[in-house]
Amino acid sequence: MEDLQAKAKKEISLGVYVHVPFCASTCDFCAFYQETPLRRDLLNFLETIGQEMNQFVSPGNVNTVFWGGGTPGLLPAGDLEKLGRYQLEALGVPAEEWTVEMAPSTVKPDKLKVLRELGVNRISLGVQSFQDEMLDAIGRRQSSSQALDAYDRIREAGFDNVNIDLMFALPNQTMDLWIRDLEKLRELSPDHVSTYCLTFEEDTALYVKLSKGQIIQDVEREADFYERTWERLDAMGLQQYEVSNFTRPGKACQHNLNTWKMHEWIGFGPSASSQFAGRRFTNDANLKTWMSGVESGNPVFMDESELTPDELALDSIIFGLRMNEGIDLDAVYERFPGLKDSGVEAFLNSLVKEGLTEASGRIFRLTVSGRLVVDRIGAELMDL
């Protein structure tokens, strides 16, 4: 019995997300929770997140860790070390991958040295564009030269797993400007690339401009950007493994894969979300309320619900279809037997007839046409 319990414990796939909610300025497209980095608030945040981590009892090894924000790289080197030590003391060293997001303007040699010493093995660099005029268009407070310098520093520090984030379909962005960004990727040769089509989230500066007619959204133009991006990155040897993510062999983001495959993850920090022990919950998106909840031992959640098998099954299909490997319907049925009478199989076969999916035995994958309307497909699946 002990051997079986040990095996079960070892096989638990658990991700950890740490939300560092501080930004020097707010980009026009950003809807994530963030605060101005006042020193007192930052110190209180560090002490509280250390408490929060120590209150969590892990059921087994943590597989992956991802620090996002906000701008985790905004923290001084000493604070990064303190945050990392809290995590290591409470949760141990992640078994597979430890990612830290950094904005180009925050990349400094002393910070990179600390992160390497802690055990961080992956950096995600938020470039968004290598064109200064495009950075201005989205309110990004950095320059293209800072991005190039930051990338060089990360490589010089010894990181051999580096992601670059880019955005397309920006206001007034021509295809020629986007191709220049992609060509810059060819020169830099990152290990992983995430490309995102600009979205207009409520309560952002870009959404206000859209609602006032100062900028427009062109869906057909977006589709052109998607297809050109996929063609170019494939030619560079960056294999698409999810609608927005591309990798060199062995460099796929394990933290994201854990999430997309509907395993478990726990979020620390204000606004961080979790899927753990049959529940979904999101920490309060307010620094002071979050701190008070942690300190009292009664965390405050914005949303909390029991996770039903139907919800988990549906999300595993929706996110599974976003991945190029697709979904093995027999494996889904084995994990979620109640799904057999849901109409999902008939729906997937109808997508085959539309040319939006292709079937290989019991494995269904989106075609290029399907990936262009993946959000529509997800919405229709939810209606089932």
Mean pLDDT of 67-74: 90
pLDDT at 62 over 70: yes
| pTM, two decimal places | 0.89
The predicted-structure confidence for 339-372, as pLDDT tens digits, reads as follows: 877 889 999 999 999 999 999 999 999 999 999 9
How many C-beta atoms lie closer than 10 Å to residue 195's C-beta?
Answer: 25
Cβ contact 30:68 at 8 Å: no
Task: Identify the weakest region by mean pLDDT among 12-21, 187-196, 255-264, 353-362.
Answer: 12-21
Given pLDDT bands bounded at 50, 70 and 90, which one contains residue 31?
very low
Q: For residue 78, give both structure tokens.
A: 């000493």
Q: Tokens 């478990």, residue?
A: 264
The predicted-structure confidence for 172-213, as pLDDT tens digits, reads as follows: 889 999 999 999 999 999 999 999 987 645 454 443 444 555
Is the model more confident about 162 or about 218?
A: 162
CA–CA gap between residue 59 and residue 6 (Å, rounded): 11
% helix, strand, coil for the chain, step of 5: 50, 20, 30
* Per-domain residue ranges of the chain: 12-259, 310-383
Cβ contact 83:35 at 8 Å: no
Average pLDDT score over the chain? 88
Give the single-character DSSP code of 265. Answer: E
Given pLDDT bands bounded at 50, 70 and 90, which one contains residue 39?
confident
- Which residues contact residue 173 at a Cβ distance below 8 angstroms, ignoring those fewer than 6 apart? 129, 134, 137
In this chain, the answer to whether the domains covering 12-259 and 310-383 adopt an identical fold is no
Cβ contact 114:81 at 8 Å: yes
Own/partner pairs for 233-242, CB < 8 Å, 24+ apart? Answer: 233/182, 233/185, 233/193, 233/195, 236/182, 236/185, 236/186, 236/189, 238/185, 238/192, 238/193, 239/324, 240/324, 241/323, 241/324, 241/325, 242/322, 242/323, 242/324
Please give the CATH superfamily to which domain 12-259 belongs.
Aldolase class I (3.20.20.70)
How many C-beta atoms lie closer than 10 Å to residue 34's C-beta?
Answer: 24
pLDDT the model gives residue 383? 83
pLDDT at 277 over 60: yes
Q: For domain 310-383, give the CATH number.
A: 1.10.10.920
Alpha-carbon dihedral angle through residues 94, 314, 283, 15, given to the nearest 10 degrees: 0
Mean pLDDT of 268-286: 95
